[in-house]
Chains A and B, each alone.
Chain A
Amino acid sequence: MSLNEILQLIRKDKVGMVGFFVLLGLILMSYVGPYVIPLDEVVRVDRIYEAPTLAHPLGMDNMGRDIFSEIVHGGRDVLTVAILTGVLSTLIAFFLGAFSGFIGGKIDTFIMWVVDVFLTIPRFPLLLVLAAVITLDNIYLLSGLLAILSWPPLARSVRSQVLSVKTRDYIEAAKLLDLGTYHIIFKEILPNLMGYVIINFIFSMTAAVYSQVGLIFLGLVPLSGQNWGLMIQMAWTRGAIFYTGSLAYILAPIIVIALFQWAAIAFSRSLETIFNPRLRGAS
């Protein structure tokens, strides 16, 4: 498939295109924005929960600070964790899933058993314990932890994908040629699953956003600084949701997160049509 074709397909799928641009915009805002818009740290007692104005498009928070600047500064950590977790968990899942599916036998059984155990350990106390034992106050640790917790389901579905690819003729041929496990997995099987990989990377990114916000909301991750999840948490304990004047305080982070998730999924859908030709014929 040529680049031209891909561009054409993206252009055809308007929703996907909007998603792509929203995604790009949010990433730009989160990584470049902080250098353009300074974080408002001035406490203004007389301007608590002030309504939005042109200068402060999202109004003021519980200490009279500009909410918009907090949104701009709150994205970087969330997105970094999402991307890191997505990369890590997709890598682990693909490596173990493909390996397990391709090798089969006892190793396969064992890996799948580990997946089962992972899926059945109650998340909540596990996170509580981990949060108490290792202080999860930096985003790299958090990403690592989220990745370790989120690879199993993906590994399982990769395994079944591999199982179905394994029986295809060209793999059989490669096996007959004795090209070696490594070669077959990485050179023959993986390229065929590339679309699947990218789409799942996006999914695990959105899942990471969902779960990290949940963790922060429950107070299991004592992060400090600016962070959309922390904003939701703070706004929630401060009762922002109940006061019409402070709705922007809690809805703004919720909406940017929802926007990010929506954009990611919309974009992944249009990627799906690119990698899966069958989807194209259907409409």
Chain B
Amino acid sequence: MPAFLRRLAKNFLLRRLLAMFATIFLVVTLTFFMVRLMPGNPIEVYINQQMSLTGISYQEAQNQAASLYNIDLTSPIWVQWVDYMKKMAVGDFGYSFSSPGTPVIKMIVDYLPWTIFSVGISIFISFILGIFMGMYIAYKRGGWMDHILSSFASITSSVPNYLVGILLLIFFGVQLRIIPFSVMRGTAPAGVEPGFSLEYLWGIFAHAILPMLTYIISTIGGWILTMKNTTMTTMGEDYVLVAKARGLKESRIIVHYVGRNAILPLFTTLVMQVGLLIGGSPLIETIFVYKGIGYALSNSLAQRDYPVMQAIFLCITISVIFANFAADLLYSKLDPRIKSNVTE
């Protein structure tokens, strides 16, 4: 019997992995064609730029581009696709079109950590603050705190995050001038050697504050509202009422009975968000000149730098798919009903 169960589990995992692989394959193929269908291609972008900058003829600009870009955009698209897939299979992302000689993988390694750092911390802070506030107003429903926080939450979650970023900049940076954002632009303090020195760590944190603040403000509302809802739903559950009737300590009920169960549904959303936010935010990172993956994406989009765009989309796809997978696993691990079934 145990052997059979194990085989089944393995089988389930295998099936799941296969489905994930199929998804990645499909999405990578779709993005491959999508980026090539976008209006304009890297050579055209370059030619148009040169013609308007220097007033040279199309023929000349094309000559320049031909010598400059050692890329193949003329062979049939499916040949390009097969070539791309072959290289992908061995982990070769190729070189950037617009910066010939710069490997795409080097760019990803350079940009991705900053996004993970800034977005990771803000998701964490926003989640923690959000669930506490949500729980608090669920208990104090109808109080003034409830009205203030709920309104704040629904307003901040309805204003697009790039506008939040700009308003922060204008309000704190220009009007009140309490944020010295000229030195806070970028990802790392200028002239400080990277390493585990306190100065450097301090510096990179300070540089990430504005994007983080923006992410936190624009996502915290969602957590507050959802947490408030799930808390109120859980408060009405039988086991909570029973626990109350048994005269258990209130703090114990809040933490173990209500809190735990109310957070559960939020965990899956949290994991999904982590997956989605690997992509960073092109707009936020551009506003704060923060060298994350979103910044790289918006630049490569403008230049139609296909290999870079594809690599970034691949990162996003993989992280979303694995986050999905993790969310499923987590859900079955965390749900007490499923757990109790196993232990009983």
Residues of A within 8 A of B (CB): 15, 109, 113, 116-117, 119-122, 124-126, 128-129, 132-133, 206, 209-210, 213-214, 217, 232, 241-242, 254, 257-258, 260-262, 265-266, 269, 272, 276, 278-279, 281-283
Contact = CB atoms under 8 A, between A and B. Distances in A.
Nearest to A265: B154
**SS class of chain B's interface: helix, strand, loop or mixed?**
helix
B96 to A, nearest CB: 17
Contact of A125 (B38, B157, B236): B38
Contact of B317 (A109, A120, A124, A133): A120
Contacts of A217: 160, 162
Contact of A128 (B22, B38, B142, B167): B38
Cβ-closest 3 pairs across A and B = A261-B158, A278-B236, A265-B154
Contacts of B142: 283
Interface in B187-246: 225, 229, 232-233, 235-237
A236 to B, nearest CB: 8
B264 interface: no
Given A125-B31, A125-B313, A128-B301, 5 more contacts: A120-B317, A124-B301, A241-B166, A260-B158, A266-B150
A124 B301 CA distance: 10
A155 to B, nearest CB: 14
Interface residues of B, number: 48
Nearest to A229: B160
B48 interface: no
A214 B160 contact: yes
A279 B233 contact: yes
A272 B147 CA distance: 16
Contact of A262 (B158, B162, B237): B158
Contacts of B155: 258, 261-262
B159 interface: yes
B316 A122 contact: yes
Nearest to B276: A119
B309 A276 contact: no
Interface string B257-269: 0000000000000
B39 A132 contact: yes
A242 B236 CA distance: 49
Contact of B170 (A133, A242, A276, A281): A242
B160 A213 contact: yes
Contacts of B118: none
6 contacts: A117-B27, A122-B316, A124-B282, A133-B37, A242-B170, A281-B236
Given A15-B147, A132-B37, A283-B141, A121 B158 contact: no
B158 A126 contact: no
Given A258-B158, A261-B158, A282 B19 contact: no
Contacts of B282: 124
Nearest to B231: A282
B340 to A, nearest CB: 16
B31 A113 contact: no
B321 A116 contact: yes
B130 interface: no
Contacts of A266: 150-151, 154
B124 to A, nearest CB: 22
B45 interface: no
B48 to A, nearest CB: 16
Nearest to B320: A120
A13 to B, nearest CB: 9
B3 interface: no
> Which of B232, B313, B316: most chain A CB closer than 10 A?
B232
Nearest to B22: A113
Contacts of B160: 210, 213-214, 217
B324 interface: yes
B138 A129 contact: no
A210 B154 CA distance: 12
Contact of A282 (B167, B236, B301): B236
